[in-house]
Amino acid sequence: MVSKALVTEAYRRKAVEIAALGVNLTVIVPPSWHDSRGAQQVGKQTAQGYELIVAPVRLNGHFHLYFYPGLAQRLAQLRPDLLHMDEEPYNLATWLALRAAHRLAIPSLFFSWQNIYRQYPPPFRWMEQNNYQWARHAIVGNTEAAAVLERKGYSGALSIIPQFGVDPNLFRPGQRQPDHADNLPNPLRIGYAGGLLAEKGIDLLLQACTLLKGDWRLHIVGSGAQEQALRDLTVALGIADKVDFRARLDSLEMPKFYQQLDVFVLPSRTTANWKEQFGRVLIEAMACGVTVVGSNSGEIPNVIGNAGCIFPEGDVHALQQCLQELLDAPAKRAALAETGRQRVLAHFTMRQVAQKTVQVYEQM
């Protein structure tokens, strides 16, 4: 399996689960990955039941153009029964990997999140079509991505499986620490984690919080191009003392963050080039027993199901109403939190994702 996403240590639990199902697994990751949220380092290079190889990449951070310069030679040495390229079919890294596998007669598959139909100029369009021909199977992370892939000409075997689940032993409910030493009621603790980017709609969350009647605090974890603008907005709205910004946390530190929240919000807004592909932070929060609120962008409603509140994207007043209801009704909040935890256990654990992925391997 070749995956830049597995730079994140918590995500490598999927590899552990796949290996535990009897797969002799080698995972290849870059030493780091750079994107709009900053740089993510590979972290601890431990592996449980599988081999982890940290391989150099060229053009790190250039999503369409990055590649692993020594991958073809490594595949020739390893001679795996199959290649799982955990990457989109329209970029150079996937094309070089699947071309090498094709020349070595190694069955291959790719992964796609793309839930908006778009055509790319040459040579990316050509690479994409080559990959459709070379791949024995495709995995997509949501139902819209399956429709997009088929519309673009892929006609091979296809499975819908989220790229990652959560480890419910790591992401689990914890004991919330009280804000007050006395018997005063605690404020509603609202949280967001992820990129501080315009499409994530954090400005909408700030505006909605200003309309709440009652005590609240907002905790924002992440980094990105909108950070200073968001900080300035809290000042303009007069809520800077109620909003806490924290830098991006290591994946293994995230459970502690979620465990101190009452509500987690993902207020994403669809743009011409993007809509929410899954919202992994939602299942992390749900696994930790936190009530979730999300917009109706992309896959968010399918992830939340009946375990939280969904509002029309871009609607500040609808978001405020969701938060107000949760602030005013602790019993409902607790019931939704429990429903969310059970929903994750039923559908979104790393073990379930691993089992479905191994079923694909067996079909191949």
- Residue 178 has a pLDDT of 66
Query: Cα(205)–Cα(209) distance, rounded to whole angstroms?
Result: 6
- State what percent of residues in the chain have pLDDT above 90: 90
Residue 181 lies in a domain: no
Residue 117 lies in a domain: yes
Same domain, 100 and 192: no
Same domain, 147 and 13: yes
Quote the strand ranges of the chain, DSSP E.
26-29, 32-35, 38-41, 51-54, 83-85, 108-112, 137-140, 157-160, 188-193, 216-221, 243-246, 263-266, 291-295, 308-311
Same domain, 31 and 114: yes
User: 3-state DSSP: the chain helix, strand, coil percent, rounded to 5?
Assistant: 40, 20, 40
Residue 182 has pLDDT above 60, yes or no: no
Q: What are phi and psi of 252, to 5 degrees?
A: -75, -10
Q: What is the mean pLDDT of residues 333-345?
A: 97
Query: Cα(352)–Cα(348) distance, rounded to whole angstroms?
Result: 7
Residue type, 187: P
Q: Is the dihedral of CA 189, 190, 193, 197 positive or negative?
A: negative
Residue 178 lies in a domain: no
Same domain, 205 and 337: yes
Residue 355 has pLDDT above 80, yes or no: yes
Same domain, 120 and 197: no
Residue 184 has pLDDT above 70, yes or no: no
Same domain, 356 and 320: no
pTM of the model: 0.86
Residue 276 lies in a domain: yes
Query: Cα(11)–Cα(251) distance, rounded to whole angstroms?
Result: 8
Same domain, 263 and 318: yes
Core vs surface per residue 156-174: b (16+ CB within 10 A) or e? eebeebbbbbbbbebbbee
Is-contact 167 349, C-beta < 8 A?
A: yes
Residue 196 lies in a domain: yes
Same domain, 331 and 213: yes
Other C-beta atoms closer than 10 Å to the C-beta of 20 total 15
Angle at 249 between CA 200 and CA 12, to 5 degrees: 95
Q: What is the mean pLDDT of residues 219-240?
A: 97
Query: Cα(148)–Cα(118) distance, rounded to whole angstroms?
Result: 9
Angle at 137 between CA 135 and CA 138, to 5 degrees: 95
Q: Which two tokens stand for residue 253?
A: 């530190």
Segment (H or E) for 143:
helix 143-151
Query: Cα(274)–Cα(83) distance, rounded to whole angstroms?
Result: 28
Same domain, 105 and 196: no
Q: For the chain, what is the radius of gyration of the CA atoms? A: 21
Query: Cα(271)–Cα(276) distance, rounded to whole angstroms?
Result: 10
Q: Is the dihedral of CA 62, 64, 67, 71 positive or negative?
A: positive
Residue 179 lies in a domain: no
Range of the domain at 301: 188-347
Domain count, the chain: 2
Residue 302 has pLDDT above 70, yes or no: yes
Residue 303 has pLDDT above 90, yes or no: yes
Q: CATH code at 13?
A: 3.40.50.2000
Residue type, 88: E
**Range with the poorest average pLDDT among 5-14, 142-151, 275-284, 302-311:** 5-14
Residue 179 has pLDDT above 70, yes or no: no
Of the CA atoms within 13 Å of residue 160, those in its CB half-sphere come to 16
Residue 35 has pLDDT above 90, yes or no: no
Residue 253 lies in a domain: yes
Residue 287 lies in a domain: yes
Residue 213 has pLDDT above 90, yes or no: yes
> Rounded to an integer, what is the distance from CA 257 to the centroid of its chain?
16
Same domain, 33 and 123: yes
Same domain, 299 and 315: yes
Same domain, 158 and 227: no
Query: Cα(141)–Cα(162) distance, rounded to whole angstroms?
Result: 4
Residue 297 has pLDDT above 60, yes or no: yes
